[in-house]
Structure 1
Amino acid sequence: MSAPQRELLTALYSPHTELELSLLRSRLDAEDIPYTVTNDHFGSLYIGVQIESFNRRWILVADSALPQAQAVLHDFLARQKQPTSTLSQPTYSWWDKLRTILEVVLLGWMVPRRRPPVSAELMTYTVQFDHQQHLFIATTSGSLTAQGMTDLGQTLLQQPQWQPGMPVIFDHRHLTFISTAVEELDEIRDFHRNHQDQIGNGKSAFVVGADRVDAWLELWQQGNKILSDHRTAVFAELDEAQDWIRQTA
């Protein structure tokens, strides 16, 4: 369902594959949500590595239907994820178990069987512009990565409402960051340094949940710090971040 003309559009999601795009189209059409896809036909011709402004496609949704579209997206992404127990717990066949016992009893040694690799969840995000408060809210999930955060930063800077110094609330309550490497943090900081003029000296509020504020602060004590007048703060809940953003001082 195409988005009606003259209505403001907001970037919802950038599909990673042709199949993912097709499935999301079906879900949005089923809910009668107005949307459009940027770079649609050209992007279908080049389905390899996704490159911004070349073959990457974005689903844009009418602002009036954004909350409904975000609910559809979150449900869609949740259904794509595998249960964490299947990723973290090794599984062995009866032959693997029997062979291990025979090796120990008869030979006095054993060769560990290969375990399935542990996969990190893909970082995903949505971006919403709050016209009433004149700020952006970026909602993330999955695992914190430099690629995910720089993609998010590019998305924010490309929004038609973006101006240097605009406030942003990053809702990271569903983001995993406990295993993020220092190198990833430095890449995120490099993006900020390279786009300082576009970002400006505004406010960024990070919402991470009640029990994770200290862990977030400890994480960002690592690596090379940024010298900037851009103000940041970390909060447990969204309403706390909104109150801080509204403060003019």
Structure 2
Amino acid sequence: MHWTVDLSGDGGHAVVTTSGAFDVAGHLRMIEDIVSRSGWSPGTDVLFDHRGLSFDDADLRAMYQASANHQLNDTRIGGGKAAILMRSLSDYGRGRQFELLTADRASATLCIFLDEAEALDWLSGQTV
């Protein structure tokens, strides 16, 4: 699992772009990397562009573990918005599992998308 992080704030949010194959350990490393950066502030809104990430081997158990990763770092992540952009309907389903498992256990507000324009509208406060 690979990722790039842009905390420049262009558009009022950070952008994390991922590629490779999703794995729980990589997910935890990604969170640690993001929240450890000097430009990170808890509560920052983020667009997670997972269109280049394969979720083929991710099952419900992996989504439980990913949710636990988020919860473990909740105070460092903060209460911002996270728009999670997925490539396919099956990936969208995995994202919804993560969203539902995390929603009542984290400060951040998560929403899963297949359309980048809708994700950006949601991050900017426009209704979807």
The TM-score with structure 1 as length reference comes to 0.45
Contact conserved, 2:66 with 2:98, CA < 8 A, in 1?
no
Number of aligned pairs? 127
Shift of 1:130: 3.4
Gaps of 5+ in 2: none
Shift of 1:210: 5.4
Q: Does 1:147 align with 2:40?
A: no
The correspondence for 2:82, drawn from 174, 184, 204, is: 204
Contact conserved, 1:213 with 1:236, CA < 8 A, in 2?
no
Q: Does 1:232 align with 2:119?
A: no
The TM-score with structure 2 as length reference comes to 0.81
User: Partners in 1 of 2:60 and 2:109 — Cα distance?
Assistant: 22
Per residue, is there more helix in 1 or in 2? 2
1:189-236 deviation digits (Å, cap 9, x = unpaired): 222222111111110001113544642345438878752342111111
The share of aligned pairs that are identical, in percent, is 23
SS at match of 2:10: coil
Per residue, is there more strand in 1 or in 2? 2
Q: Which has the larger radius of gyration?
A: 1
SS at match of 2:38: coil
Q: Call closer, same or farther: CA 1:207–1:184 in 2, change over 3 Å.
A: same
1:122-179 deviation digits (Å, cap 9, x = unpaired): x111111233323211111111111111111011101212111111111011111132
Matches within 5 A, 1:146-225: 146-209=24-87, 211-212=89-90, 214-217=92-95, 219-220=97-98
Gaps of 5+ in 1: 1-122
Q: Call closer, same or farther: CA 1:222–1:230 in 2, change over 3 Å.
A: closer
Give the root-mean-square deviation of aligned CA atoms: 2.6
User: Partners in 1 of 2:82 and 2:35 — Cα distance?
Assistant: 14
1:50-90 deviation digits (Å, cap 9, x = unpaired): xxxxxxxxxxxxxxxxxxxxxxxxxxxxxxxxxxxxxxxxx
